[in-house]
C-alpha cells in the first residue's frame, strides 16, 4: 500500500485507527477455547466487528510466537483474513546484522518464506543502517522504526542527550537518509505528547504509528492535535481497549462499539485538525 493509498483509505474510513491484535490465548472468551484454532476464531470475529472502523491491523508477533508452531499458523490465517483494503503491520521489533535482518525481512514480506506478506514491520534502530536496509529492499513494503516508545523504560536511552538533542531525534534524522516518508514510518508513543511538536518539525511528512492510547494512558486528542499533518500522518493503535472490551460471548459486539467510539472521535479530529 502506498502513502497516497493509505491517506485515501483514512479519508474513506474517516478513521486512522489501527487495531492491535495482541491476542492472548489465556484471555480468549471461554466459549471459543473449544475451537480448533481459538486464536484465529477470536481474531476473525474481531476483524469482522471492527473492519468498518479502522484502516490497519497490527498483530503483535510475541503473542503468536509464544504459542510455538501453531501460533504461526494462527498468524498466517489471521493475516489472510484481513481485508486487502487494510494496512497490515507485523509488530515484531526485529533488527540484526545485514544477512540476518534479510531473513527477518523475508519472514514478514516474502510469502514463499514463512507464508506471510505484511505491508510493514516494526524495526529496532540500535544496530543501525545495515540492520534496517534489508527490509527496505522489498519494493512497496514499509519499515516502521522505533523512535520514542510509550513505555516508562523508553526514557532510559531514547531521551539521553546526544550533541544537545535527545537520542530519538538523532534516530529520526539519521534514518531519513535511509528512506523517505513513502517507505518509512516511526513509532512514537501516545504517552509522549510533549514530544510530538518536535517530532513533526523533524519529520513533517512521515506517518507515525502511535501506541499507548487507552490502557497505557495516552490522549487521542493531544496526539491528533499535535501529530496530524496534511496527509493525516497518524496511525493510532488500540489493542487491549478494543479486543478485551468484554471477556464474555459479546466480546465482538463490545469490540465493535469501542472501535466505533474511537472512529467517531477520529472523524471529529480529522475535521478539526486536518488542513483543508
Residues near a copy of itself (CB under 8 A) are 22, 24, 60, 62-63, 65-73, 76, 91, 93-98, 100-101, 103-104, 106-107, 113-116, 124-132, 146, 149-158, 160-163, 167, 170-171, 174, 211, 216
Helix (H, G, I), strand (E, B) or coil at 121: strand
Distance in Å, CB of 81 to a copy of itself, minimum:
17
Distance in Å, CB of 229 to a copy of itself, minimum:
25
CB 19 within 8 A of CB 46: yes
- The two beta strands, 142-148 and 184-188, are parallel
**Among the listed residues 217, 218, 228, the one whose alpha carbon sits nearest the alpha carbon of residue 266:** 228
Q: Is 93 in the active site? A: yes
Nearer to a copy of itself, 2 or 151 (CB): 151
CB 208 within 8 A of CB 227: yes
Distance in Å, CB of 222 to a copy of itself, minimum:
20
Nearer to a copy of itself, 93 or 225 (CB): 93
**Among the listed residues 196, 230, 275, 231, the one whose alpha carbon sits nearest the alpha carbon of residue 5:** 231
Task: For residue 219, give every residue at least 6 positions away whose Cβ sits within 8 Å of its Cβ, in sequence order, or none.
Answer: 190, 193, 213
- The two beta strands, 161-162 and 165-166, are antiparallel
Distance in Å, CB of 143 to a copy of itself, minimum:
14
Catalytic residue among 93, 141, 165, 254: 93
Distance in Å, CB of 265 to a copy of itself, minimum:
23
Nearer to a copy of itself, 14 or 165 (CB): 165
Nearer to a copy of itself, 160 or 197 (CB): 160
Query: What DSSP string describes 187-256?
Result: EE-GGGGGGHHHHHHH-SS--EEE--BSTT-B-HHHHHHHH-BTTB-EEEEE-HHHHTS-SSTTHHHHHH
Nearer to a copy of itself, 29 or 189 (CB): 189
Catalytic center residues: 93
Amino acid at each position: 500500500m502506498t502513502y497516497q493509498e493509505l491517506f485515501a483509505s483514512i479519508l474513506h474510513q474517516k478513521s486512522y485507527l489501527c487495531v492491535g491484535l495482541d491476542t492472548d490465548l489465556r484471555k480468549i472468551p471461554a466459549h471459543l477455547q473449544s475451537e480448533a484454532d481459538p486464536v484465529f476464531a477470536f481474531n476473525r470475529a474481531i476483524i469482522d466487528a471492527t473492519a468498518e472502523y479502522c484502516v490497519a491491523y497490527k498483530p503483535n508477533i510475541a503473542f503468536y510466537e509464544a504459542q510455538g508452531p501453531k501460533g504461526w499458523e494462527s498468524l498466517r490465517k489471521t493475516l489472510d483474513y484481513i481485508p486487502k483494503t487494510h494496512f497490515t503491520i507485523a509488530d515484531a521489533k526485529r533488527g540484526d546484522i545485514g544477512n540476518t535482518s534479510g531473513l527477518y525481512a523475508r519472514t514478514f514480506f516474502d510469502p514463499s518464506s514463512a507464508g506471510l506478506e505484511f505491508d510493514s514491520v516494526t524495526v529496532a534502530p540500535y544496530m543501525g543502517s545495515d540492520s534496517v536496509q534489508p527490509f527496505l529492499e522489498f519494493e512497496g513494503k514499509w519499515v516502521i522504526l522505533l523512535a520514542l516508545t510509550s513505555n516508562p523504560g523508553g526514557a532510559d536511552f531514547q531521551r539521553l542527550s546526544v550533541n544537545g538533542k535527545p537520542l530519538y531525534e538523532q534516530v529520526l534524522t539519521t534514518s531519513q537518509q535511509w528512506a523517505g516518508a513513502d517507505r518509512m514510518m516511526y513509532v512514537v508513543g501516545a504517552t509522549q505528547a510533549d514530544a510530538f511538536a518536535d517530532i513533526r518539525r523533524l519529520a513533517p511528512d512521515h506517518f507515525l504509528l502511535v501506541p499507548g492510547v487507552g490502557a497505557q494512558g495516552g490522549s487521542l486528542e493531544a496526539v491528533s492535535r499535535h501529530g496530524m499533518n496534511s496527509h493525516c500522518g497518524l496511525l493510532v493503535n488500540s489493542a487491549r481497549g478494543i479486543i478485551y472490551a468484554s471477556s464474555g460471548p459479546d466480546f465482538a459486539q463490545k469490540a465493535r462499539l469501542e472501535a466505533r467510539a474511537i472512529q467517531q472521535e477520529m472523524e471529529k479530529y480529522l475535521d478539526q485538525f486536518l488542513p483543508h
